[in-house]
Amino acid sequence: MDRPEQNVRITISDEDAQKFLERLATDDDFRAELEQNPAAVLRDHGIELLQPENVPETVTLPPKDDIDAYLAPTRTRAFGGVHGWLGFAILYYVLGAMPLVVTEDDGSG
Amino acid sequence: MARVKRPVFLFFTCQDHPFLDIEQLLRGVVEPSSLRRVYGLSAAVGGAVPVSDEELQLIISLPSDEWVEADEPRLAELADRGLVLRDGVDPVDEERRERDELLAETGWNPYAALFHFLTRWQGIDLRASAAPGGEPVEELPPIRREDLEQFVAERGPPPPAFHPRGPSGQVTELPLVEGHGGLFELLPRRKTTRSFDAKSSLALESLSIVLRSVFGVHGSALAAPGVVTLKRTSPSGGGLHPLEAYLLVANVDGLPPGLYRYLGENHALELIEALESPGDAHRLGTSFMCGQTYFGSAHVLVVLAARFERNHWKYNAHDKAYPAILMDAAHLSQTLYLVAAELGLGAFVTAAINGVDVDERLGLDGYREGSLAICGFGPPAAEPSPFDPAFVPYVPSR
C-alpha cells in the first residue's frame, strides 16, 4: 500500500495539517522546538500519537528540502475536495471566470 | 443539563488527505501517508467539520425530530462546532437551529442543500495570491505563458475541443445556410466583455431597456385563486420565475451609486443602500466577484438571486428543483447578453462569487432567497481586454 494508515489521531483541519507540514519545511525555530519536545509540540498542534511510548524525548527531523519536495505537488492540489478553498498560493485563474488566454510580454499574443 | 438534537441536514463523508507518517517523520524519514478522516457536512453551518469515530457514534445516537436532555460534555463541544443543535438563548445556537428548521420549512432537497450551502464562498479574493510567487496584486494580471504551460504540465492536455469519438455511423452533411436579419445578426455579436469604458456612463434609458427586456414581466395568468404565473422573455422551471434581480449601480446617468432591488411588478428600482461613489461600487462589486477586476469596472452589476421557497412550493424537496433554478439563472444571463449586444453594450456573467457576503449585504437569508451568480453590463472599452480570446471565424470542415 502506497500510503499506510497512521497510528495517530489528528484533530485539526486539513488546512492546519498542511500548514503544520509547511512550517516543518520552512521554519527553523519551529523545527527546533519540535525536535526538542516532540510529544508536547505535536499535541499542541492537534496531533496525538496513539502509542506515545514510541516517541523519544528528542528527535531529528528530515531535512527541510525533503519535506518541501513532498509538499510541492500537494500545493497545486490545494483546492477542491471537501474544503473547496484552502487559501494557499494557487493558480488563480482556475477559480476565475476568464478563459485560458495567454498574453505574451512582447505583445505578440 | 442541555437539550440537544441532531440536525436534519447533516451528512457524513470519509476523505483521505495526503500527509506524512508522523512516526517516521520523528525518525528523520519522509514517508507519505494519509489522514483518513470522517467529516460532518452541515448545510446549516455551511462547512465540513472533522469528527472522531466516537463523536460520530454520539451524533447518530441522537434523534433529529425531538429534543433530548443530555449532560455528556462531548455534546457541548459538538454543539460548539455545529454538529449538534442545542436549545437555549445562545445567539449562535439559535441561528443554527433556525437554519436547520428553515431548510426543512422552505422545501430544500437534502442533496441540493448539501451542494449549495457547502459550495458557497465567503471572503475569497483571487488577488490575494495572483502575482508570480503567490504575492497579492491590485489588478489581476494576464496569464503568463509559463503559468499556463505549468498548468497543462500538471493536469495534462485538456480533452479536445471537438468530441474525440469519430463517426461510426452514416454521416449526413447538412446544408451550410445562414439565417439573415434580426436575431441571426445579433447572435454572432453576443460575447463576454471584460473591459468597460471608465470615461462614459450608462444611459438610464439603456438600463431600463435591459431590465424590462430581461427581468420585466410581459404577461400574467391566474392559474387558480392565489396562483399567479408570470411571463418573462426567458423560460423558467414550472413557470415560477423565482429569480430576482438586485443591482449594484456604479455609473448610470441620473441614478446614484448604490444597491437596488428591481421591482418587476412596477418596473422600478428600490434603493437598498446608497454608496458614496462609483469607485465604492466598483470595489464592492469586485469583492462580490472574488477580486475579478476585469469585471469589477462594469457600470451595473446584477445579482441573480433565487427565491428558493417559490420554486420549492411546487417542487418541494424535489431532485430537479435546484438544477432548474440554476438553469433559470443561465437563461436570464443569456438573454441579458443578447439585449446588451443589441444595445451595443458589453456584458458578462460569473458564478465565481462570494455568495455568503453578497447575501449578507443584500439582506437575504440565503435559505428562502439567495444569490447564485452575477451579471454585469455597460459601455465597453474601446480596446479589448487582455483576457479576451482572439477568435477567428470557424467554418465547419468538410
Q: What is the pLDDT of residues B228-276, one digit of tens each?
A: 999 999 999 999 999 999 999 999 999 999 999 999 999 999 999 999 9
- The CB-based long-range contact list for B140-144 (8 Å cut-off, 24+ gap) reads B140/A92, B140/A96, B140/B291, B140/B292, B140/B293, B140/B294, B142/A101, B142/A102, B142/A103, B142/B386, B142/B387, B143/A93, B143/A98, B143/A100, B143/A101, B143/A102, B143/A103, B143/B387, B144/A102, B144/A105
Q: What percent of chain B has pLDDT over 90?
A: 76
Q: What is the pLDDT of residues B128-155, one digit of tens each?
A: 877 766 678 888 877 777 777 877 887 7
User: What is the Cα Rg of chain A in Å?
Assistant: 18
**Residue labelled with grid coordinates 457536512:** B41
Q: Answer whether B389 touches A (CB < 8 Å).
A: yes
Q: Could you count the other beta carbons within 10 Å of the beta carbon of residue B126?
A: 22
The pLDDT of residue B23 is: 86
For A33, the domain range is 8-94
ipTM of the complex: 0.74
Q: Cell for B213? A: 427586456
Give the pLDDT of residue A3.
45
Task: Check residues A72 and B175 and name the one with the higher pLDDT.
Answer: B175
Residues in chain B within 8 Å Cβ distance of A2:
32
Q: Is residue B87 scored above 90 in pLDDT?
A: yes
A103 found inside a domain? no
Give me the domains of chain B, ranges plus CATH numbers.
2-105 (no CATH), 186-378 (3.40.109.10)
A57: in domain: yes
The answer as to whether A46 is a domain residue is yes
Residue A106 lies in a domain: no
Shortest Cα distance from A81 to chain B (angstroms)? 9
Q: Which of B52-56, B63-67, B318-322 has the lowest mean pLDDT?
A: B52-56
How much is the pLDDT for B17? 80
Q: Which residue has the higher pLDDT, B1 or B202?
A: B202
Split at pLDDT 50, 70, 90, the class of A103 is low
191-230 of B, contacting A, C-beta below 8 A: 194
B26 φ/ψ sector (left φ>0, alpha ψ -120 to 50, else beta): alpha
Could you tell me the pTM of the whole model?
0.85
Residue contact B387–A70, C-beta within 8 A: no
Total structural domains in chain A?
A: 1
Q: Residue A97: which of B21, B32, B350 has the nearest Cβ?
A: B350
What per-residue confidence (pLDDT) applies to B33?
86
For residue A3, tell me if it sits in a domain. Answer: no
Q: Rounded to an integer, what distance in angstroms lies between the CA atom of residue A87 and that of residue A78?
A: 8
**Closest Cβ–Cβ partner in A49, A85, A105 for B22:** A49
Above pLDDT 70, what percent of chain B?
Answer: 99
User: Which range is least confidently modeled, B129-133, B216-220, B386-390?
Assistant: B129-133
Q: Which of B11, B12, B14, B35 to mutate to test the interface with A (most CBs of A within 10 A)?
A: B35
CB < 8 Å to A42, chain B? 22
Interchain CB contact of B122 with A (< 8 Å) = no
Burial (CB count <10 Å: 0-12, 13-18, 19+), residue B337? buried
Which residues of chain A have a CB within 8 Å of the CB of B37? 10, 14
Residue whose cell numbers read 457514534 = B57
Residue type, B278: P
Domain annotation covers residue A109: no
Interface probe, candidates B15, B30, B349, chain A, greatest A C-beta count within 10 A: B30
**Residue B356: is its pLDDT beyond 90?**
yes
Unique residue bearing C-alpha cell 447518530: B60
- Cα radius of gyration (chain B): 25
pLDDT band at B300; cut points 50, 70, 90 = very high
Q: Does B290 touch chain A (CB under 8 A)?
A: yes
**Position B102 pLDDT exceeds 60:** yes
Minimum mean pLDDT range among A85-89, B33-37, B187-191: A85-89
Stated as kind and residue range, the H or E segment containing B321 is helix B321-342
**By mean pLDDT, which of A88-97, B147-156, B183-192, B199-208 is the weakest?**
A88-97
State the average pLDDT over residues B345-369.
96
Computed over every residue of chain A, the mean pLDDT equals 71
Of B390 and B220, more confident? B220
Kindly compute the dihedral angle of the four CA atoms of residues B103, B106, B107, B108, in this order, to the nearest 10 degrees.
Answer: -40
Q: Which DSSP helix (H) or strand (E) runs through B20? A: strand B10-20
The Cα–Cα gap between B183 and B238 comes to 26
Mean pLDDT of all residues in chain B?
93
**B221 is written with which cell numbers?**
395568468
Does residue A19 form part of some domain?
yes
Model pLDDT, residue A90: 41
Q: Residue A91: its pLDDT value, please?
A: 46
B354 touches chain A (CB under 8 A): no
**Residues of chain B found within 8 Å of residue A10, distances taken between Cβ atoms:** 19, 35, 37, 50
Chain A residues with beta carbon closer than 8 angstroms to that of B48: 82-83
* pLDDT: which is higher, B329 or A19: B329
Report the chain B residue with the minimal C-alpha distance to residue A15.
B17
Q: Which residues of B touch A31 (CB under 8 A)?
A: none
Q: What is the pLDDT of residue B220?
A: 94
Whether residue A97 and residue B20 make contact (CB cut-off 8 A), yes or no, is: no
Q: Is the pLDDT of residue A105 over 50?
A: no
Is-contact B177 B299, C-beta < 8 A?
Answer: no
Nearest residue in chain B measured CA to CA from A36: B26
Specify if A79 maps to a domain.
Answer: yes
The answer, for B269 touching chain A at a CB cutoff of 8 Å, is no
**B:312-351 residues touching chain A, CB 8 A cutoff:** 348-351
